[in-house]
């Protein structure tokens, strides 16, 4: 079945440093979504990417979808303590249900 791998599992940065998490699929994806889950909270939708090579920005967050539509990344510039949480990618191929990666837990020290 479809698998979505996410790395790293965990990253600890100092406030102001950049952060990137990567998502790789074993199959071509029709779209990829990113979610953020704060500690003790539930996942909250951030963005969806559909087109090959697509790049979208939300303030300090930059999302990319690979040319082959098998990988994606989320980059945060100049992290803040409010960025703390676990970031999940979720991909789907064809008509399959969204498959979530295991997430990258981000810890930001002031």
Residues paired with 65 in a beta bridge: 72
Rounded CA separation 103/86 (Å): 6
Convert residues 46-65 into a mask of x (bound to another protein by CB under 8 A) and - (unbound): --x-x---------------
Residue with tokens 């295991």: 102
CB of 78 to another protein, least distance (A): 27
Residues paired with 71 in a beta bridge: 24
Stretch of 16-24, 35-43, 54-62, 64-72 lying at the interface with another protein (CB under 8 A) = 35-43
Among residues 37 and 77, whose Cβ is nearest to another protein? 37
CB 105 within 8 A of CB 41: no
CB of 42 to another protein, least distance (A): 4
């Amino acid at each position: 079945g479809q698998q979505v791998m996410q790395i790293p599992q965990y990253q600890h940065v100092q406030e102001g440093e950049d952060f990137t998490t990567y998502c790789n699929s074993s199959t071509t994806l029709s779209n990829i979504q990113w979610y953020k889950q704060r500690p003790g909270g539930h996942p909250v939708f951030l963005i969806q990417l559909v087109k090959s090579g697509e790049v979208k920005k939300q303030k300090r967050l930059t999302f990319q979808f690979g040319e082959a539509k098998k990988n994606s990344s989320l980059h945060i510039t100049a992290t803040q303590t409010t960025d703390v949480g676990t970031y999940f990618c979720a991909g789907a191929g064809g008509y399959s249900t969204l498959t979530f990666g295991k997430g990258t837990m981000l810890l930001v020290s002031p």
